[in-house]
Amino acid sequence: MTIAFIGLGNMGAPMAHNLLKAGQAVVVFDLNNATVQELVKAGATAATSPRDAASKADQAVITMLPAGPHVRAVYENDDGVLAGVAKGVPLVDSSTIDPLTARHVIDTAAAQGNPMADAPVSGGTGGAQAGTLTFMVGAEPALFETLKPILGYMGKNIAHCGGAGTGQVAKLCNNMLLAVQMAGVSEAMALGVKLGMDPKTLAGVINTSTGRCWSSDTYNPWPGVIDGAPASRGYTGGFGTSLMLKDLGLATEAAKQAGQPVMMGGAAHQLYQWFAASGHGGEDFSAIVKLYSQQG
Amino acid sequence: MTIAFIGLGNMGAPMAHNLLKAGQAVVVFDLNNATVQELVKAGATAATSPRDAASKADQAVITMLPAGPHVRAVYENDDGVLAGVAKGVPLVDSSTIDPLTARHVIDTAAAQGNPMADAPVSGGTGGAQAGTLTFMVGAEPALFETLKPILGYMGKNIAHCGGAGTGQVAKLCNNMLLAVQMAGVSEAMALGVKLGMDPKTLAGVINTSTGRCWSSDTYNPWPGVIDGAPASRGYTGGFGTSLMLKDLGLATEAAKQAGQPVMMGGAAHQLYQWFAASGHGGEDFSAIVKLYSQQG
Amino acid sequence: MTIAFIGLGNMGAPMAHNLLKAGQAVVVFDLNNATVQELVKAGATAATSPRDAASKADQAVITMLPAGPHVRAVYENDDGVLAGVAKGVPLVDSSTIDPLTARHVIDTAAAQGNPMADAPVSGGTGGAQAGTLTFMVGAEPALFETLKPILGYMGKNIAHCGGAGTGQVAKLCNNMLLAVQMAGVSEAMALGVKLGMDPKTLAGVINTSTGRCWSSDTYNPWPGVIDGAPASRGYTGGFGTSLMLKDLGLATEAAKQAGQPVMMGGAAHQLYQWFAASGHGGEDFSAIVKLYSQQG
Amino acid sequence: MTIAFIGLGNMGAPMAHNLLKAGQAVVVFDLNNATVQELVKAGATAATSPRDAASKADQAVITMLPAGPHVRAVYENDDGVLAGVAKGVPLVDSSTIDPLTARHVIDTAAAQGNPMADAPVSGGTGGAQAGTLTFMVGAEPALFETLKPILGYMGKNIAHCGGAGTGQVAKLCNNMLLAVQMAGVSEAMALGVKLGMDPKTLAGVINTSTGRCWSSDTYNPWPGVIDGAPASRGYTGGFGTSLMLKDLGLATEAAKQAGQPVMMGGAAHQLYQWFAASGHGGEDFSAIVKLYSQQG
């Protein structure tokens, strides 16, 4: 049984490696030949196009791409996945894209007889390497059961979010909330320290009170509060500001199309836009605390 | 050994009852005689003024009052605590007030030889009745050790936040963050449901992802997601919108005086101001989700 | 000399009528045959497609359409303008759309030898009927001079904004600012009245002070302050909330693509999103004052 | 007939000079003796306290002070205005303070038989020197008529805002709106320039369209757009960021006490708080455009 994996970037490459480590036969494609060769060394077979890769897959086709237009191109172009894949082979797109594009591609795939799931991930490049990603899967129940063991080679939390398209919705809602929380934790920490509190003590109180959250107890933006968090290593690694900005753009766009106001999400979007425009796009997204604490 | 307890409102009365249940001798004062009589029936002694109550206390004086001006009056008036209390008896104010007023009263008390702590609480009237409050205590280490067992009769989490005044700071920082998170969770839930997700499923994904927080996993604002949360009983009980609005006013005022920007906290403040002005001040603060989900 | 006019909606129909009143020969197209027949009665010639209309124009082709996808379709489809128009005939799109789409169509037209301008308007249906629209024109200087007299039949302020695409930029910047001002005036009026001021007196002070602006001195959102403003006739007529929301969506999207933060514009966008989602999309955009003044 | 003038800072000193130039007898007081001597050289009489100054006035007492606590002290202290002034002499406070404090002092003065007006100004130190200030006067009609000629020696626009206290309300509403507009104009200019427009052209379009306002057509924040505006001289002179921040703090506090949401005003407050905390408090308030245009 063979899996096609298309899109071998910072996330896709380690995910494909984990499939190989789990003993799966994997055929890969990427425009970057160097990355393809890395995978070939590890046991993968190289394909010449998405269509070629998909034509060789009988277990599943998995894609991991930067944005919606890439997803449409990789699936719908003449040399794309849909032109090559055999009827009935399940498709999984793990890119983070807008729900409308996701549903469009899923519907097109369904129309030609290929069940498709959207399964964006969280956990970053660290989770991709360690095989500990969270997959947020939008799929019919039967398809979810089929895909669960395959995704389990690359992640440890395989969450079923509902029918096709809901994986993207869950991810955007979670990440919009995450940005709101990270900015909120940054403000609370900066205010407390300005008013005389020790940052570790303040975080300790919050983490045992009603303000507790992942952005405070696991990924606190204040340097020195959490060992091993990006804040304690110069805001390197982790989940980049520019990626968070991308997700906020998708979330507020989805809200706009749904006619749904998102006042806090919109405010967080503009703060991250501001922070990225100030030259911090390459830092971890918890560096947003710099807006609040290095002003004097 | 006798404890004076002044301020027998919705929070103070059950706190004083818990001191009595723990076998402490308690002398009480409140302007509302009916409440005083309830406590007397339970074993307390009635005092005729804050000064009278304080003069009979040799273990501690505890106050629980609505706002800063009440605290100043109860401590500093001619018939106030400071006029009656014996030198060396420790004082504890559990009101939630602005840090500047707190520090002013603490300094005045210290100048006449009474060590004083600010120890605002979280946990609401439910926590006050059950004796499970969290106390956020600002006090010198020795004073904290003296007070810890006394506060332990009324709460289960007695957090030491640092020197005098830091209890208020910790509470305001935590509650400002809490308001930001509750509005953020409300937006994320409303957006996800509008885009087709089941609310329980969405909350489940968030609660095992980077968006997890108390406002989602313990106190989710969407009806039916968490059994027993105010959202599942018509937004009654819990922590009222008008109390949250009061704390947001204190937090943004403290930020203003400290010259500290709080963009997300300021936005949450205005949303709660809007919500309270629309007639929802008496509902639980998680009802803010109504801004997002009952608009059509 | 003949002008083709395509898109005969609430704005386009009266604009085409004004061309006829000015003695121009006009060939028209719209999917709605009833509107076409109205124009034919007034002296226009009916065409069977955008392509057909464009093929009969030797002076200019003008389009007035709801959104970017319609513009692309009307120009680029097989039966579209570009397929029918003779080389050298100038094209004018008066739709309000995103600058990227505008530039794409302009570049495509230029490549086949047709100079094209973007010329969105302000002034609403009232201005369209009275021939008093403002045109914000993005065009090379020579093209602007050619178009100016034609646009002058439909408007009284023909503003040259710079090269192709700048018409859309100017309109979006102006309208984003307008939304910020209208929300700001609404807050200032509501706050002043709540604090005891007479609304006409407050507006009078603002209008002779540094807060003066069109949203206060010409289009004040408080009922009774300006005779003839939509606020004084139940927020009917004027510039609809849903149109303002559309423009705010275009402006924040353009800002996102430019990596430019717009904190106030983003906040106004969410307020209008909220207001429209609450069922006010059909009212004049100055009705946003209801968010502030009918809360008790 | 003698006027007492108390508070000879950057605003008060030139105002008192203008009274002298108009031929009025003026008795002055300030804690800064150097400024007092300047006025004495110009013909004023020095007093030894606010009480002393007030006791020598039979036409009016005018005060110009930094903040609410100074106003209360200057009027209510033992050596204050109210202790010295003869019954019936009218009082005018031109400080910008919160409406509640203003009304408190006005009520106290009325109770002892002195009619009092609040009359904050706009126009800055330039307007104070040139005698072109705008006075926003809260006073009963008869008192307003009495004061109008006196204020006319110092300003050219004497606006009657209503009863006592409304002067402060009008000023805070106007200035909150002004901050919202200045931030809005800054965003619109920065966005337009980023998208390729010439700043003067963009301002020209806005100034003849619905976005026109004082912040764009008279005081545009973009350098080079308006000759003589602070933006064209390095953001020096004009109305300082720290003064705008003070007024925004008063406006949002007044809104809080009135239970009135101000979403846009609150956002502008936080932006100015951020800008001042970043070290720009001494620049003209139009320098807020730097948040948007010097980020790369």
- The answer to whether C192 contacts D170, with C-beta atoms less than 8 Å apart, is yes
For residue A66, count other CB atoms closer than 10 A to its CB. 14
Interatomic CA distance for residues B39 and B56, integer angstroms: 16
Chain C contact for A260, CB < 8 A?
yes
pLDDT of residue A126: 87
pLDDT of residue D296: 34
* pLDDT tens, residue by residue, A151-161: 999 999 999 99
pLDDT of residue C238: 84
Interatomic CA distance for residues C272 and C248, integer angstroms: 8
Rounded mean pLDDT of B291-295?
Answer: 77
Chain B contact for C294, CB < 8 A?
no
What amino acid is encoded at C125 in this protein? T
pLDDT of residue A295: 41
pLDDT of residue C295: 41
What are all long-range contacts of B22-30, with beta carbons under 8 Å and residues at least 24 apart?
B22/B153, B24/B59, B24/B150, B24/B153, B25/B1, B26/B2, B27/B2, B27/B3, B27/B53, B27/B56, B27/B57, B28/B4, B28/B53, B29/B4, B29/B5, B29/B53, B30/B6
Q: Name the 3-class secondary structure at D9.
A: coil
Interatomic CA distance for residues B116 and B147, integer angstroms: 10
In the A/B pair of chains, how many CB contacts fall below 8 A? Answer: 246
In the B/C pair of chains, how many CB contacts fall below 8 A? Answer: 16
Going residue by residue through chain C, which has 296 residues, state the pLDDT in tens, using 9 for 90 and above.
999 999 999 999 999 999 999 999 999 999 999 999 999 999 999 999 999 999 999 999 999 999 999 999 999 999 999 999 999 999 999 999 999 999 999 999 999 999 999 999 988 888 999 999 999 999 999 999 999 999 999 999 999 999 999 999 999 999 999 999 999 999 999 999 999 999 999 999 999 999 999 999 999 999 999 999 999 999 998 899 999 999 999 999 999 999 999 999 999 999 999 999 999 999 999 999 999 986 43
Pairing of strands B91-93, B25-29: unpaired
Pairing of strands B2-6, B25-29: parallel
Secondary structure of C63-100 in the HEC alphabet?
Answer: ECCCCHHHHHHHHHCCCCHHHHCCCCCCEEECCCCCHH
Chain D contact for A214, CB < 8 A?
no
Interatomic CA distance for residues B68 and B96, integer angstroms: 8
* pLDDT tens, residue by residue, D146-194: 999 999 999 999 999 999 999 999 999 999 999 999 999 999 999 999 9
Whether A171 is a known active-site residue: answer: yes
User: From the candidates D56, D156, D171, D290, which is the catalytic residue?
Assistant: D171
Question: Could you tell me which residues come within 8 angstroms of residue C203 by beta carbon, excluding any fewer than 6 positions away?
Answer: C189, C216, C217, C220, C222, C225, C226
Residues pairing with D138 in the sheet: D118, D162
Nearest CB among C249, C262, C274 relative to A261 is that of C274
Instruction: Report DSSP state, residue D85.
Output: P
The yes-or-no verdict on residue D126 having pLDDT over 90 is: no
**Which domains are present in chain C?**
2-164 (3.40.50.720), 169-293 (1.10.1040.10)
Interatomic CA distance for residues B49 and D292, integer angstroms: 58
Integer CA distances (angstroms), C107 to A99, C139, C206, in order: 30, 12, 45
Angle made by CA atoms A207, A209, A210, in degrees to the nearest 5: 110
Chain C contact for D293, CB < 8 A?
no
Rounded mean pLDDT of D3-25?
Answer: 97
Interatomic CA distance for residues D16 and D22, integer angstroms: 10
- The answer to whether D259 contacts B276, with C-beta atoms less than 8 Å apart, is yes
Query: Chain D window 222-251: which residues touch B at a Cβ cutoff of 8 Å?
Result: 249
Q: Which of B194, B201, B205 to mutate to test the interface with A (most CBs of A within 10 A)?
A: B205
Residues pairing with D62 in the sheet: D5, D92
Rounded mean pLDDT of B271-288?
Answer: 96
- The answer to whether D296 contacts A274, with C-beta atoms less than 8 Å apart, is no
Query: Chain D window 140-169: which residues touch C at a Cβ cutoff of 8 Å?
Result: 157, 159-163, 165-166, 169
Q: Which residues in chain A touch residue B259, judged by CB atoms under 8 angstroms apart?
A: 194
Q: What is the pTM of this model?
A: 0.94
Interatomic CA distance for residues C10 and C165, integer angstroms: 24
Chain D contact for A291, CB < 8 A?
yes
Pairing of strands D2-6, D25-29: parallel
Contact A18, A43 (CB under 8 A): no
DSSP A253-287: HHHHHHT---HHHHHHHHHHHHHIIIIITTSBGGG
Contact D60, D89 (CB under 8 A): yes
DSSP D46-65: E-SSHHHHHHT-SSEEEE--
Chain B contact for A257, CB < 8 A?
no
- The answer to whether D190 contacts C260, with C-beta atoms less than 8 Å apart, is yes
